[in-house]
Structure 1
Amino acid sequence: MELQDQSHLSDYDTTAPTSHDHGSTTSSTAALKLQKVYKSYRTRRKLADSAVVVEELWWQALDFARLNHSTISFFDYVKNETAASRWSRIRLNASRVGKGLSKDARAQKLAFQHWIEAIDPRHRYGHNLNLYYEEWCKGDAGQPFFYWLDVGDGKEVELKQCPRSRLRCECIRYLGPQEREHYEYIIVEGTIVHKLSGDLLDTNGGLEGSKWIFVMSTSKRLYAGQKKKGSFHHSSFLAGGATLAAGRLMVEGGKLRSVSAYSGHYRPTDGNLSSFLVFLKEHGVNLDGVQVCS
Protein backbone atom coordinates (compact mmCIF):
# COMPACT_ATOMS: atom_id res chain seq x y z
CA MET A 1 0.00 0.00 0.00
CA GLU A 2 2.86 2.30 0.79
CA LEU A 3 4.41 1.59 -2.61
CA GLN A 4 1.13 2.37 -4.33
CA ASP A 5 0.91 5.72 -2.57
CA GLN A 6 4.43 6.60 -3.65
CA SER A 7 3.62 5.59 -7.24
CA HIS A 8 0.53 7.75 -7.13
CA LEU A 9 2.50 10.73 -5.92
CA SER A 10 5.05 10.32 -8.72
CA ASP A 11 2.37 11.23 -11.27
CA TYR A 12 2.41 14.80 -9.99
CA ASP A 13 5.17 17.44 -10.19
CA THR A 14 5.63 18.47 -6.61
CA THR A 15 8.75 20.55 -7.31
CA ALA A 16 8.24 24.21 -6.39
CA PRO A 17 9.47 26.95 -8.84
CA THR A 18 13.03 27.99 -8.08
CA SER A 19 14.39 31.53 -7.98
CA HIS A 20 16.54 30.61 -11.00
CA ASP A 21 13.46 29.84 -13.12
CA HIS A 22 11.84 33.11 -12.06
CA GLY A 23 14.99 35.02 -12.99
CA SER A 24 15.11 33.41 -16.44
CA THR A 25 11.50 34.41 -17.11
CA THR A 26 12.19 37.99 -16.04
CA SER A 27 15.32 38.17 -18.22
CA SER A 28 13.43 36.83 -21.24
CA THR A 29 10.68 39.41 -20.76
CA ALA A 30 13.23 42.22 -20.44
CA ALA A 31 15.09 41.04 -23.55
CA LEU A 32 11.84 40.93 -25.52
CA LYS A 33 10.97 44.48 -24.47
CA LEU A 34 14.48 45.64 -25.39
CA GLN A 35 14.16 44.10 -28.85
CA LYS A 36 10.82 45.83 -29.39
CA VAL A 37 12.24 49.19 -28.29
CA TYR A 38 15.28 48.75 -30.55
CA LYS A 39 13.14 47.79 -33.55
CA SER A 40 10.92 50.80 -32.90
CA TYR A 41 13.97 53.08 -32.68
CA ARG A 42 15.46 51.57 -35.85
CA THR A 43 12.19 52.14 -37.71
CA ARG A 44 12.02 55.77 -36.55
CA ARG A 45 15.69 56.25 -37.49
CA LYS A 46 15.06 54.91 -41.00
CA LEU A 47 12.03 57.16 -41.40
CA ALA A 48 14.05 60.17 -40.22
CA ASP A 49 16.89 59.36 -42.62
CA SER A 50 14.40 58.96 -45.45
CA ALA A 51 12.87 62.33 -44.62
CA VAL A 52 16.31 63.97 -44.83
CA VAL A 53 16.99 62.36 -48.21
CA VAL A 54 13.58 63.39 -49.56
CA GLU A 55 14.09 66.97 -48.35
CA GLU A 56 17.51 67.14 -49.99
CA LEU A 57 16.27 65.75 -53.31
CA TRP A 58 13.27 68.09 -53.23
CA TRP A 59 15.55 71.10 -52.64
CA GLN A 60 17.76 70.05 -55.54
CA ALA A 61 14.78 69.41 -57.83
CA LEU A 62 13.32 72.86 -57.15
CA ASP A 63 16.67 74.51 -57.68
CA PHE A 64 17.24 72.60 -60.91
CA ALA A 65 13.79 73.47 -62.25
CA ARG A 66 14.18 77.19 -61.53
CA LEU A 67 17.63 77.39 -63.08
CA ASN A 68 16.64 75.20 -65.99
CA HIS A 69 13.99 77.75 -66.90
CA SER A 70 16.10 80.80 -66.11
CA THR A 71 18.99 79.88 -68.40
CA ILE A 72 16.86 78.98 -71.43
CA SER A 73 18.89 75.80 -71.68
CA PHE A 74 16.17 73.43 -72.70
CA PHE A 75 12.90 75.25 -73.36
CA ASP A 76 11.64 76.45 -76.72
CA TYR A 77 13.72 79.41 -77.85
CA VAL A 78 11.11 80.70 -80.30
CA LYS A 79 8.59 81.12 -77.51
CA ASN A 80 7.92 84.81 -76.87
CA GLU A 81 9.36 86.11 -73.61
CA THR A 82 8.16 89.28 -71.95
CA ALA A 83 10.50 91.97 -70.65
CA ALA A 84 9.36 91.18 -67.10
CA SER A 85 10.25 87.52 -67.61
CA ARG A 86 13.71 88.42 -68.92
CA TRP A 87 14.44 90.66 -65.92
CA SER A 88 13.17 87.96 -63.55
CA ARG A 89 15.55 85.48 -65.17
CA ILE A 90 18.46 87.91 -64.89
CA ARG A 91 17.71 88.58 -61.21
CA LEU A 92 17.61 84.86 -60.46
CA ASN A 93 20.94 84.25 -62.17
CA ALA A 94 22.56 87.17 -60.35
CA SER A 95 21.17 86.07 -56.98
CA ARG A 96 22.69 82.65 -57.50
CA VAL A 97 26.26 83.90 -57.61
CA GLY A 98 25.68 86.87 -55.29
CA LYS A 99 24.12 84.86 -52.48
CA GLY A 100 25.61 86.08 -49.20
CA LEU A 101 26.97 89.40 -50.50
CA SER A 102 24.41 91.38 -48.51
CA LYS A 103 25.83 89.99 -45.25
CA ASP A 104 29.36 91.28 -45.77
CA ALA A 105 30.67 93.76 -48.33
CA ARG A 106 34.08 92.05 -48.26
CA ALA A 107 32.66 88.78 -49.58
CA GLN A 108 33.97 87.35 -52.85
CA LYS A 109 31.59 86.09 -55.50
CA LEU A 110 32.52 83.58 -58.17
CA ALA A 111 34.97 84.72 -60.83
CA PHE A 112 33.20 85.59 -64.08
CA GLN A 113 34.17 82.42 -65.94
CA HIS A 114 32.51 80.39 -63.21
CA TRP A 115 29.27 82.36 -63.19
CA ILE A 116 28.06 80.22 -66.05
CA GLU A 117 28.87 77.11 -64.02
CA ALA A 118 26.58 78.30 -61.22
CA ILE A 119 23.66 79.23 -63.46
CA ASP A 120 23.98 76.13 -65.62
CA PRO A 121 21.34 73.61 -64.43
CA ARG A 122 23.89 70.82 -64.81
CA HIS A 123 26.71 72.83 -63.18
CA ARG A 124 29.17 71.80 -65.85
CA TYR A 125 32.71 72.77 -64.90
CA GLY A 126 33.11 76.52 -65.42
CA HIS A 127 36.55 76.21 -67.02
CA ASN A 128 35.13 73.93 -69.72
CA LEU A 129 32.03 76.04 -70.24
CA ASN A 130 34.17 79.14 -70.60
CA LEU A 131 35.97 77.62 -73.59
CA TYR A 132 32.65 77.19 -75.37
CA TYR A 133 31.54 80.62 -74.20
CA GLU A 134 34.58 82.17 -75.91
CA GLU A 135 33.68 80.27 -79.08
CA TRP A 136 30.12 81.59 -78.84
CA CYS A 137 31.45 85.15 -78.49
CA LYS A 138 33.35 84.86 -81.77
CA GLY A 139 30.17 84.51 -83.80
CA ASP A 140 26.86 86.28 -84.02
CA ALA A 141 24.43 83.46 -83.45
CA GLY A 142 21.71 85.70 -82.07
CA GLN A 143 20.93 82.97 -79.55
CA PRO A 144 21.44 82.86 -75.76
CA PHE A 145 24.61 81.01 -74.85
CA PHE A 146 23.05 77.93 -73.23
CA TYR A 147 20.47 77.57 -75.97
CA TRP A 148 23.23 77.85 -78.58
CA LEU A 149 25.34 75.29 -76.71
CA ASP A 150 22.70 72.66 -76.02
CA VAL A 151 20.09 72.79 -78.78
CA GLY A 152 20.92 75.70 -81.07
CA ASP A 153 23.52 76.37 -83.75
CA GLY A 154 26.41 75.41 -81.47
CA LYS A 155 25.20 71.98 -80.44
CA GLU A 156 27.56 70.32 -82.95
CA VAL A 157 30.59 72.44 -82.01
CA GLU A 158 33.42 70.25 -80.68
CA LEU A 159 36.55 71.84 -79.20
CA LYS A 160 39.83 69.94 -79.14
CA GLN A 161 40.82 71.42 -75.78
CA CYS A 162 37.51 70.27 -74.32
CA PRO A 163 35.60 67.54 -76.19
CA ARG A 164 31.87 67.25 -75.62
CA SER A 165 32.44 64.04 -73.64
CA ARG A 166 34.47 65.96 -71.05
CA LEU A 167 31.98 68.82 -71.01
CA ARG A 168 29.20 66.34 -70.20
CA CYS A 169 31.13 64.32 -67.61
CA GLU A 170 32.77 67.08 -65.59
CA CYS A 171 29.85 68.45 -63.60
CA ILE A 172 30.48 70.15 -60.27
CA ARG A 173 28.58 68.87 -57.27
CA TYR A 174 26.69 71.69 -55.53
CA LEU A 175 25.80 70.86 -51.94
CA GLY A 176 22.33 71.37 -50.54
CA PRO A 177 21.66 72.56 -46.96
CA GLN A 178 21.63 69.04 -45.46
CA GLU A 179 24.69 67.83 -47.37
CA ARG A 180 26.64 70.94 -46.40
CA GLU A 181 26.46 70.02 -42.72
CA HIS A 182 28.75 67.04 -43.34
CA TYR A 183 31.55 69.38 -44.43
CA GLU A 184 31.31 71.89 -41.61
CA TYR A 185 34.14 72.31 -39.10
CA ILE A 186 34.35 74.30 -35.89
CA ILE A 187 37.25 75.41 -33.72
CA VAL A 188 37.44 73.92 -30.24
CA GLU A 189 40.29 74.96 -27.94
CA GLY A 190 42.41 75.97 -30.90
CA THR A 191 41.87 72.77 -32.89
CA ILE A 192 39.78 72.25 -36.03
CA VAL A 193 37.03 69.72 -35.35
CA HIS A 194 34.28 68.18 -37.49
CA LYS A 195 31.05 69.66 -36.17
CA LEU A 196 28.90 66.52 -36.43
CA SER A 197 31.34 63.77 -35.46
CA GLY A 198 33.73 65.68 -33.22
CA ASP A 199 36.71 64.15 -35.06
CA LEU A 200 39.87 66.21 -35.42
CA LEU A 201 40.55 67.32 -38.97
CA ASP A 202 43.57 65.59 -40.48
CA THR A 203 44.25 66.25 -44.14
CA ASN A 204 46.86 63.48 -44.29
CA GLY A 205 44.22 60.79 -43.96
CA GLY A 206 42.97 60.88 -47.56
CA LEU A 207 44.45 59.70 -50.83
CA GLU A 208 48.12 60.37 -51.39
CA GLY A 209 48.62 63.75 -53.02
CA SER A 210 45.05 64.84 -52.37
CA LYS A 211 44.39 68.55 -51.85
CA TRP A 212 42.11 69.85 -49.14
CA ILE A 213 40.15 72.98 -49.88
CA PHE A 214 38.07 75.24 -47.66
CA VAL A 215 35.69 78.17 -47.75
CA MET A 216 34.31 80.43 -45.06
CA SER A 217 30.76 81.60 -45.61
CA THR A 218 29.51 85.12 -45.01
CA SER A 219 28.02 83.73 -41.77
CA LYS A 220 31.58 82.75 -40.77
CA ARG A 221 30.98 79.03 -41.02
CA LEU A 222 33.99 76.95 -42.05
CA TYR A 223 33.65 74.16 -44.61
CA ALA A 224 36.42 71.86 -45.82
CA GLY A 225 36.85 68.76 -47.95
CA GLN A 226 39.01 67.00 -50.52
CA LYS A 227 39.14 68.56 -53.95
CA LYS A 228 38.13 66.28 -56.81
CA LYS A 229 38.96 67.83 -60.14
CA GLY A 230 35.95 68.10 -62.37
CA SER A 231 33.46 67.17 -59.64
CA PHE A 232 34.15 68.84 -56.28
CA HIS A 233 35.60 72.35 -56.10
CA HIS A 234 35.38 75.47 -53.93
CA SER A 235 32.05 76.35 -55.53
CA SER A 236 30.59 73.06 -54.25
CA PHE A 237 30.40 74.01 -50.57
CA LEU A 238 28.06 77.01 -50.85
CA ALA A 239 26.45 76.04 -54.17
CA GLY A 240 28.10 78.97 -55.92
CA GLY A 241 27.37 81.49 -53.15
CA ALA A 242 29.73 84.23 -51.98
CA THR A 243 32.55 83.56 -49.50
CA LEU A 244 34.63 85.54 -47.02
CA ALA A 245 37.65 83.32 -47.63
CA ALA A 246 38.63 80.37 -49.79
CA GLY A 247 41.79 78.39 -50.39
CA ARG A 248 43.75 75.31 -49.41
CA LEU A 249 44.89 74.08 -46.02
CA MET A 250 46.93 71.37 -44.35
CA VAL A 251 45.93 70.18 -40.89
CA GLU A 252 47.43 67.46 -38.68
CA GLY A 253 45.46 66.21 -35.72
CA GLY A 254 43.34 69.34 -35.72
CA LYS A 255 46.39 71.64 -35.75
CA LEU A 256 46.73 74.02 -38.70
CA ARG A 257 50.06 73.60 -40.53
CA SER A 258 49.60 75.67 -43.69
CA VAL A 259 46.98 77.78 -45.43
CA SER A 260 46.86 79.47 -48.81
CA ALA A 261 44.43 81.73 -50.64
CA TYR A 262 44.44 79.70 -53.84
CA SER A 263 41.04 79.28 -55.48
CA GLY A 264 40.39 79.54 -59.20
CA HIS A 265 36.66 79.81 -58.57
CA TYR A 266 36.76 82.75 -56.13
CA ARG A 267 40.23 84.26 -56.63
CA PRO A 268 40.47 85.54 -53.05
CA THR A 269 42.54 88.62 -52.26
CA ASP A 270 45.23 89.07 -49.62
CA GLY A 271 42.56 90.90 -47.63
CA ASN A 272 40.33 87.81 -47.66
CA LEU A 273 43.22 85.69 -46.40
CA SER A 274 44.06 88.22 -43.68
CA SER A 275 40.44 88.23 -42.50
CA PHE A 276 40.50 84.43 -42.30
CA LEU A 277 43.69 84.48 -40.23
CA VAL A 278 42.14 87.01 -37.87
CA PHE A 279 39.10 84.74 -37.52
CA LEU A 280 41.34 81.78 -36.67
CA LYS A 281 43.34 83.76 -34.12
CA GLU A 282 40.20 85.09 -32.44
CA HIS A 283 39.04 81.50 -32.00
CA GLY A 284 42.24 80.38 -30.33
CA VAL A 285 44.19 78.88 -33.23
CA ASN A 286 47.95 79.19 -32.70
CA LEU A 287 49.38 80.62 -35.91
CA ASP A 288 53.02 80.37 -34.82
CA GLY A 289 54.84 78.23 -37.35
CA VAL A 290 51.87 78.09 -39.72
CA GLN A 291 52.94 78.46 -43.35
CA VAL A 292 50.86 81.18 -45.00
CA CYS A 293 50.81 81.56 -48.79
CA SER A 294 48.88 84.32 -50.51
Structure 2
Amino acid sequence: MVRGILWPSVTTSYYDTLQDASNWWNHVNYSDAWQNRIYHLLAALYAFVAAIALVQLVRIQLRVPEYGWTTQKVFHFLNFLVNGVRAVVFVFRRDVQNFQPEIVRHMVLDVPSLAFFTTYALLVLFWAEIYYQARAVSTDGLRPSFLTINGVVYAIQIVLWLVIWWNPIPALVILSKMFFAGVSLFAALGFLLYGGRLFLMLQRFPVESKGRRKKLQEVGYVTTICFTCFLIRCIMMCFNAFDKAADLDVLYHPVLNFIYYLNFLVSHRLSLGLINNYILIYNLAVGGDPAFHSSPFHSEKVASKERDHAVSPYSLTRSWIVYYKLELSKG
Protein backbone atom coordinates (compact mmCIF):
# COMPACT_ATOMS: atom_id res chain seq x y z
CA MET A 1 0.00 0.00 0.00
CA VAL A 2 2.83 2.38 0.96
CA ARG A 3 4.63 1.42 -2.23
CA GLY A 4 1.57 2.32 -4.26
CA ILE A 5 1.37 5.72 -2.61
CA LEU A 6 5.08 6.53 -3.07
CA TRP A 7 5.30 5.44 -6.71
CA PRO A 8 3.31 8.36 -8.23
CA SER A 9 5.30 10.77 -6.06
CA VAL A 10 8.64 9.43 -7.32
CA THR A 11 7.42 9.50 -10.92
CA THR A 12 6.23 13.09 -10.56
CA SER A 13 9.52 14.16 -9.01
CA TYR A 14 11.49 12.50 -11.82
CA TYR A 15 9.30 14.17 -14.43
CA ASP A 16 9.76 17.57 -12.76
CA THR A 17 13.53 17.11 -12.78
CA LEU A 18 13.52 16.33 -16.50
CA GLN A 19 11.27 19.30 -17.13
CA ASP A 20 13.61 21.61 -15.19
CA ALA A 21 16.62 20.31 -17.12
CA SER A 22 14.82 20.86 -20.42
CA ASN A 23 13.85 24.39 -19.40
CA TRP A 24 17.44 25.15 -18.36
CA TRP A 25 18.77 23.81 -21.68
CA ASN A 26 16.38 25.93 -23.70
CA HIS A 27 17.04 28.97 -21.53
CA VAL A 28 20.81 28.75 -22.04
CA ASN A 29 20.59 27.99 -25.76
CA TYR A 30 18.20 30.81 -26.61
CA SER A 31 19.45 33.43 -24.16
CA ASP A 32 21.50 36.19 -25.80
CA ALA A 33 23.39 36.73 -22.54
CA TRP A 34 24.38 33.07 -22.22
CA GLN A 35 25.31 32.86 -25.89
CA ASN A 36 27.63 35.85 -25.52
CA ARG A 37 29.20 34.45 -22.33
CA ILE A 38 29.94 31.05 -23.84
CA TYR A 39 31.32 32.39 -27.13
CA HIS A 40 33.43 35.00 -25.34
CA LEU A 41 34.78 32.28 -23.05
CA LEU A 42 35.72 30.22 -26.11
CA ALA A 43 37.34 33.32 -27.62
CA ALA A 44 39.42 33.85 -24.46
CA LEU A 45 40.53 30.20 -24.36
CA TYR A 46 41.51 30.14 -28.04
CA ALA A 47 43.29 33.50 -27.70
CA PHE A 48 45.26 32.08 -24.76
CA VAL A 49 46.42 29.06 -26.79
CA ALA A 50 47.22 31.34 -29.75
CA ALA A 51 49.37 33.48 -27.44
CA ILE A 52 51.24 30.37 -26.23
CA ALA A 53 51.93 29.35 -29.84
CA LEU A 54 53.16 32.87 -30.68
CA VAL A 55 55.45 32.97 -27.64
CA GLN A 56 56.91 29.58 -28.62
CA LEU A 57 57.45 30.78 -32.20
CA VAL A 58 59.18 34.00 -31.09
CA ARG A 59 61.30 32.13 -28.54
CA ILE A 60 62.52 29.63 -31.15
CA GLN A 61 63.19 32.40 -33.69
CA LEU A 62 65.26 34.37 -31.17
CA ARG A 63 67.31 31.30 -30.23
CA VAL A 64 67.94 29.99 -33.76
CA PRO A 65 67.13 32.81 -36.22
CA GLU A 66 69.44 31.48 -38.94
CA TYR A 67 67.49 28.29 -39.66
CA GLY A 68 64.50 29.69 -41.52
CA TRP A 69 61.10 27.98 -41.45
CA THR A 70 61.69 24.66 -39.72
CA THR A 71 58.94 22.12 -39.06
CA GLN A 72 58.73 23.37 -35.50
CA LYS A 73 58.28 27.01 -36.52
CA VAL A 74 55.69 26.22 -39.19
CA PHE A 75 53.68 24.15 -36.73
CA HIS A 76 53.65 26.89 -34.08
CA PHE A 77 52.79 29.54 -36.69
CA LEU A 78 49.85 27.51 -38.01
CA ASN A 79 48.62 26.91 -34.46
CA PHE A 80 48.81 30.66 -33.79
CA LEU A 81 46.93 31.37 -37.01
CA VAL A 82 44.17 28.79 -36.42
CA ASN A 83 43.56 29.70 -32.79
CA GLY A 84 43.85 33.43 -33.39
CA VAL A 85 41.31 33.41 -36.23
CA ARG A 86 38.94 31.24 -34.20
CA ALA A 87 39.21 33.65 -31.26
CA VAL A 88 38.30 36.61 -33.49
CA VAL A 89 35.38 34.68 -35.01
CA PHE A 90 34.05 33.82 -31.53
CA VAL A 91 34.31 37.46 -30.40
CA PHE A 92 32.20 38.59 -33.37
CA ARG A 93 30.11 35.40 -33.56
CA ARG A 94 26.78 37.25 -33.60
CA ASP A 95 27.91 39.49 -36.47
CA VAL A 96 29.28 36.51 -38.40
CA GLN A 97 25.90 34.78 -38.13
CA ASN A 98 24.30 37.69 -40.02
CA PHE A 99 26.76 37.71 -42.93
CA GLN A 100 25.09 37.75 -46.35
CA PRO A 101 25.14 35.93 -48.67
CA GLU A 102 25.15 32.81 -46.51
CA ILE A 103 28.18 31.34 -48.28
CA VAL A 104 30.33 34.15 -46.84
CA ARG A 105 29.40 32.98 -43.34
CA HIS A 106 30.33 29.41 -44.28
CA MET A 107 33.67 30.58 -45.65
CA VAL A 108 34.53 32.55 -42.50
CA LEU A 109 33.66 29.55 -40.30
CA ASP A 110 35.33 26.95 -42.55
CA VAL A 111 38.68 28.65 -43.24
CA PRO A 112 39.99 27.94 -39.69
CA SER A 113 38.94 24.31 -40.16
CA LEU A 114 41.02 24.06 -43.33
CA ALA A 115 44.00 25.59 -41.55
CA PHE A 116 43.40 23.17 -38.67
CA PHE A 117 43.60 20.27 -41.13
CA THR A 118 46.88 21.58 -42.56
CA THR A 119 48.35 22.04 -39.08
CA TYR A 120 47.69 18.49 -38.00
CA ALA A 121 48.51 17.01 -41.39
CA LEU A 122 51.93 18.56 -40.75
CA LEU A 123 52.12 16.68 -37.44
CA VAL A 124 51.15 13.43 -39.20
CA LEU A 125 53.84 14.14 -41.79
CA PHE A 126 56.40 14.59 -39.05
CA TRP A 127 55.42 11.35 -37.34
CA ALA A 128 55.64 9.53 -40.68
CA GLU A 129 59.15 10.93 -41.23
CA ILE A 130 60.28 9.72 -37.80
CA TYR A 131 58.79 6.28 -38.41
CA TYR A 132 60.29 5.78 -41.87
CA GLN A 133 63.67 7.25 -40.92
CA ALA A 134 63.87 4.80 -38.02
CA ARG A 135 63.18 1.94 -40.45
CA ALA A 136 65.78 3.29 -42.93
CA VAL A 137 63.05 3.87 -45.55
CA SER A 138 63.26 6.83 -47.93
CA THR A 139 61.05 9.78 -47.00
CA ASP A 140 61.55 11.73 -50.24
CA GLY A 141 57.93 11.33 -51.31
CA LEU A 142 56.31 12.40 -48.03
CA ARG A 143 56.63 16.16 -48.34
CA PRO A 144 55.45 16.36 -51.97
CA SER A 145 52.50 14.19 -50.91
CA PHE A 146 51.78 16.59 -48.04
CA LEU A 147 51.74 19.57 -50.43
CA THR A 148 49.67 17.73 -53.02
CA ILE A 149 47.02 16.59 -50.53
CA ASN A 150 46.67 20.07 -49.05
CA GLY A 151 46.57 21.66 -52.49
CA VAL A 152 43.82 19.30 -53.66
CA VAL A 153 41.77 19.84 -50.48
CA TYR A 154 41.98 23.64 -50.74
CA ALA A 155 41.28 23.65 -54.48
CA ILE A 156 38.17 21.45 -54.16
CA GLN A 157 36.84 23.51 -51.25
CA ILE A 158 37.36 26.81 -53.09
CA VAL A 159 35.58 25.43 -56.17
CA LEU A 160 32.66 24.30 -53.99
CA TRP A 161 32.44 27.74 -52.38
CA LEU A 162 32.40 29.48 -55.76
CA VAL A 163 29.77 27.11 -57.19
CA ILE A 164 27.55 27.49 -54.10
CA TRP A 165 27.94 31.28 -54.31
CA TRP A 166 26.88 31.17 -57.96
CA ASN A 167 24.04 28.67 -57.47
CA PRO A 168 23.26 27.96 -53.78
CA ILE A 169 21.22 24.79 -54.17
CA PRO A 170 20.84 22.47 -51.12
CA ALA A 171 22.58 19.53 -52.84
CA LEU A 172 25.80 21.53 -53.21
CA VAL A 173 25.70 22.62 -49.57
CA ILE A 174 25.33 18.96 -48.56
CA LEU A 175 28.23 18.03 -50.86
CA SER A 176 30.43 20.70 -49.27
CA LYS A 177 29.69 19.44 -45.76
CA MET A 178 30.27 15.83 -46.75
CA PHE A 179 33.59 16.87 -48.29
CA PHE A 180 34.62 18.38 -44.96
CA ALA A 181 33.52 15.17 -43.26
CA GLY A 182 35.69 13.17 -45.65
CA VAL A 183 38.70 15.42 -45.01
CA SER A 184 38.24 14.99 -41.25
CA LEU A 185 38.00 11.21 -41.63
CA PHE A 186 41.17 11.21 -43.74
CA ALA A 187 43.01 13.17 -41.02
CA ALA A 188 41.69 10.83 -38.31
CA LEU A 189 42.96 7.79 -40.21
CA GLY A 190 46.33 9.50 -40.69
CA PHE A 191 46.68 9.94 -36.94
CA LEU A 192 45.58 6.38 -36.30
CA LEU A 193 48.01 4.97 -38.89
CA TYR A 194 51.20 6.88 -38.13
CA GLY A 195 50.51 7.71 -34.49
CA GLY A 196 49.72 4.05 -33.88
CA ARG A 197 52.82 2.92 -35.75
CA LEU A 198 55.04 5.33 -33.84
CA PHE A 199 53.50 4.24 -30.53
CA LEU A 200 54.07 0.55 -31.31
CA MET A 201 57.61 1.30 -32.45
CA LEU A 202 58.48 3.14 -29.23
CA GLN A 203 56.75 0.46 -27.19
CA ARG A 204 59.38 -2.03 -28.33
CA PHE A 205 62.13 0.02 -26.70
CA PRO A 206 63.14 -0.52 -23.07
CA VAL A 207 61.11 1.84 -20.85
CA GLU A 208 63.13 1.58 -17.67
CA SER A 209 63.58 5.36 -17.46
CA LYS A 210 60.88 7.82 -16.48
CA GLY A 211 61.55 10.02 -19.53
CA ARG A 212 61.03 7.19 -22.01
CA ARG A 213 57.86 6.05 -20.33
CA LYS A 214 56.51 9.61 -20.39
CA LYS A 215 57.21 10.04 -24.11
CA LEU A 216 55.53 6.74 -24.88
CA GLN A 217 52.44 7.90 -22.99
CA GLU A 218 52.50 11.26 -24.78
CA VAL A 219 52.46 9.60 -28.20
CA GLY A 220 49.48 7.52 -27.12
CA TYR A 221 47.61 10.51 -25.66
CA VAL A 222 48.06 12.73 -28.72
CA THR A 223 47.19 9.94 -31.14
CA THR A 224 44.02 9.09 -29.24
CA ILE A 225 42.86 12.69 -28.70
CA CYS A 226 43.55 13.89 -32.25
CA PHE A 227 41.99 10.78 -33.79
CA THR A 228 38.92 11.25 -31.59
CA CYS A 229 38.60 14.97 -32.40
CA PHE A 230 38.73 14.46 -36.16
CA LEU A 231 36.39 11.47 -35.96
CA ILE A 232 33.87 13.49 -33.92
CA ARG A 233 34.07 16.27 -36.49
CA CYS A 234 33.49 13.76 -39.29
CA ILE A 235 30.41 12.32 -37.56
CA MET A 236 28.99 15.76 -36.70
CA MET A 237 29.48 17.01 -40.27
CA CYS A 238 27.66 13.94 -41.61
CA PHE A 239 24.72 14.58 -39.28
CA ASN A 240 24.79 18.28 -40.08
CA ALA A 241 24.70 17.64 -43.83
CA PHE A 242 21.32 15.90 -43.64
CA ASP A 243 19.81 17.29 -40.43
CA LYS A 244 19.61 21.05 -39.94
CA ALA A 245 18.92 20.57 -36.22
CA ALA A 246 22.41 19.05 -35.81
CA ASP A 247 24.14 22.19 -37.11
CA LEU A 248 26.79 23.35 -34.65
CA ASP A 249 27.70 26.60 -36.38
CA VAL A 250 24.60 28.45 -35.20
CA LEU A 251 24.04 30.81 -32.27
CA TYR A 252 21.36 28.72 -30.57
CA HIS A 253 23.68 25.76 -29.85
CA PRO A 254 26.23 27.48 -27.57
CA VAL A 255 26.61 24.58 -25.11
CA LEU A 256 27.23 22.04 -27.88
CA ASN A 257 29.61 24.50 -29.53
CA PHE A 258 31.53 24.86 -26.28
CA ILE A 259 31.93 21.09 -25.83
CA TYR A 260 32.78 20.57 -29.50
CA TYR A 261 35.39 23.31 -29.81
CA LEU A 262 36.84 22.56 -26.37
CA ASN A 263 37.83 19.10 -27.67
CA PHE A 264 39.84 20.70 -30.46
CA LEU A 265 41.34 23.20 -28.02
CA VAL A 266 42.67 20.33 -25.89
CA SER A 267 44.38 18.79 -28.92
CA HIS A 268 45.89 22.19 -29.81
CA ARG A 269 47.27 22.68 -26.30
CA LEU A 270 48.75 19.18 -26.03
CA SER A 271 50.35 19.30 -29.45
CA LEU A 272 52.05 22.65 -28.74
CA GLY A 273 54.06 21.05 -25.97
CA LEU A 274 54.62 17.71 -27.67
CA ILE A 275 55.92 19.05 -30.98
CA ASN A 276 59.08 20.19 -29.19
CA ASN A 277 59.73 16.65 -27.93
CA TYR A 278 59.21 15.09 -31.35
CA ILE A 279 61.48 17.61 -33.03
CA LEU A 280 64.16 16.55 -30.56
CA ILE A 281 63.58 12.90 -31.46
CA TYR A 282 63.96 13.75 -35.14
CA ASN A 283 67.11 15.81 -34.61
CA LEU A 284 68.79 13.11 -32.53
CA ALA A 285 67.78 10.37 -34.96
CA VAL A 286 68.67 11.87 -38.33
CA GLY A 287 70.84 14.88 -37.52
CA GLY A 288 68.59 17.87 -38.09
CA ASP A 289 65.18 19.31 -38.61
CA PRO A 290 64.14 19.70 -42.24
CA ALA A 291 63.65 23.37 -43.07
CA PHE A 292 60.66 24.52 -45.08
CA HIS A 293 61.30 26.68 -48.12
CA SER A 294 58.66 28.31 -50.23
CA SER A 295 60.26 27.92 -53.66
CA PRO A 296 61.33 25.30 -54.39
CA PHE A 297 59.91 23.24 -51.54
CA HIS A 298 62.57 20.81 -50.43
CA SER A 299 64.21 19.27 -47.39
CA GLU A 300 67.42 20.73 -46.00
CA LYS A 301 69.38 19.07 -43.19
CA VAL A 302 70.15 21.52 -40.41
CA ALA A 303 72.76 20.82 -37.78
CA SER A 304 71.24 20.55 -34.33
CA LYS A 305 72.17 23.27 -31.90
CA GLU A 306 73.60 22.33 -28.55
CA ARG A 307 71.90 25.23 -26.82
CA ASP A 308 68.48 24.26 -28.20
CA HIS A 309 68.54 20.49 -28.18
CA ALA A 310 71.19 19.19 -25.76
CA VAL A 311 68.81 18.54 -22.88
CA SER A 312 69.80 15.42 -20.98
CA PRO A 313 66.32 13.83 -20.56
CA TYR A 314 65.74 14.07 -24.30
CA SER A 315 69.10 12.54 -25.20
CA LEU A 316 67.61 9.18 -24.24
CA THR A 317 65.50 9.22 -27.38
CA ARG A 318 68.46 8.59 -29.66
CA SER A 319 69.00 5.15 -28.17
CA TRP A 320 65.36 4.32 -28.99
CA ILE A 321 65.98 4.75 -32.71
CA VAL A 322 69.35 2.97 -32.59
CA TYR A 323 67.81 0.09 -30.63
CA TYR A 324 64.98 -0.21 -33.13
CA LYS A 325 67.37 -0.31 -36.10
CA LEU A 326 69.42 -3.02 -34.40
CA GLU A 327 66.28 -5.06 -33.79
CA LEU A 328 65.33 -4.73 -37.47
CA SER A 329 68.79 -5.83 -38.59
CA LYS A 330 68.56 -8.92 -36.38
CA GLY A 331 65.21 -9.82 -37.94
Relative to total residues, which structure has the larger helix share, 1 or 2?
2
Instruction: Pick 1 or 2: higher relative contact order, CA cutoff 8 A, min separation 6.
Output: 2
TM-score (normalised: structure 2): 0.27
Computing the radius of gyration from Cα coordinates, the structure with the larger value is 1
TM-score (normalised: structure 1): 0.29
Relative to total residues, which structure has the larger strand share, 1 or 2?
1
